[in-house]
A and B are shown apart, each in its own frame.
Chain A
């Protein structure tokens, strides 16, 4: 949880121009994009490994 909060701090946020939702939704957009792609690559590596066993 602490690391997640640290991750949020990583993203630019200015309370004078941003709505509060930006603080959560912007990091979510970036993290989900990387997570989706990483999961897909993990799936391909899994397929590759199961192919090597044949």
Chain B
């Protein structure tokens, strides 16, 4: 299995997007009237959550597809299972980064690293659910592992709407949504908006690129494992026939 030139070309484009996003975030966007230069944390913190909001639902779609087709369409089920793993890993990376960057930002703005408010707690639970999903995938053996993981992914996804709605349902230390948070919320400066949305685009594109590579690696691994299993069965059948 080789990384082809199209993937390398896309990687270059995405790296250029990320580089431009970094320049916008650090040098083009002005400092904020209240937060000063610390507002620049937002340009890397917000894309983490958009990334998690893209790849964790993708994990749900892939898991449901796997559950639906696993008995009838083996090849499609293998693809769905590989995509579920790749998107879950990417989702965990984005979610973990969101927690870490949020904590570093919170220490400066709120004076605390962490607080057990509804938004932060439900997000930590979400991260732990998907980490446990990956651990089950890594350490569980047996034919039912993929089914167990797919079911866990379906239940794990239930936390995402709770995370999203937590700042609306409960009073939290975490502020209301910057975008879509109602009147008065949001960033109005055009340079700041450019830095936010460019970085969102760049990091989601990066996530899609990495997920595509991880998916290809995992699919190839599963195909090799299936082929090795078939070889073993036919070898044993041959040995059995020779013994008779």
Contact = CB atoms under 8 A, between A and B. Distances in A.
A36 B93 contact: yes
A28 B104 contact: yes
Contacts of B38: 18-19, 22, 25-26
Interface in B35-62: 36-38, 40-41, 44-45, 48
B105 A52 contact: no
Contact of A29 (B1, B45, B89, B214): B45
A40 B40 CA distance: 24
Contacts of A5: none
A21 B106 CA distance: 11
A54 B218 CA distance: 14
Interface in A26-44: 26, 28-30, 32-33, 36-37, 40-41, 44
Given A17-B31, A21-B108, A41-B210, A26 B220 contact: no
Interface size class of B (residues with CB under 8 A): 20 to 34
A18 B37 CA distance: 6
Residue with the greatest number of chain A CB neighbours at <10 A, chosen from B89, B107, B217: B217
Interface size class of A (residues with CB under 8 A): 20 to 34
A37 B93 contact: yes
Given A22-B108, A29-B105, A44 B213 contact: yes
Nearest to A33: B44
Interface stretch (B66-74, B94-102, B117-125): B94-102
A29 B26 CA distance: 12
A22 to B, nearest CB: 5
A4 interface: no
A26 B40 contact: yes
A18 B22 CA distance: 20
Nearest to B209: A41
26 contacts: A11-B37, A11-B40, A12-B26, A12-B31, A12-B37, A14-B36, A17-B31, A18-B31, A19-B108, A25-B105, A25-B107, A25-B108, A26-B37, A26-B41, A29-B41, A29-B44, A30-B26, A32-B97, A32-B104, A36-B93, A36-B100, A40-B90, A47-B221, A48-B3, A48-B213, A51-B217
Interface of A: 10-14, 17-19, 21-22, 25-26, 28-30, 32-33, 36-37, 40-41, 44, 47-48, 51-52, 54
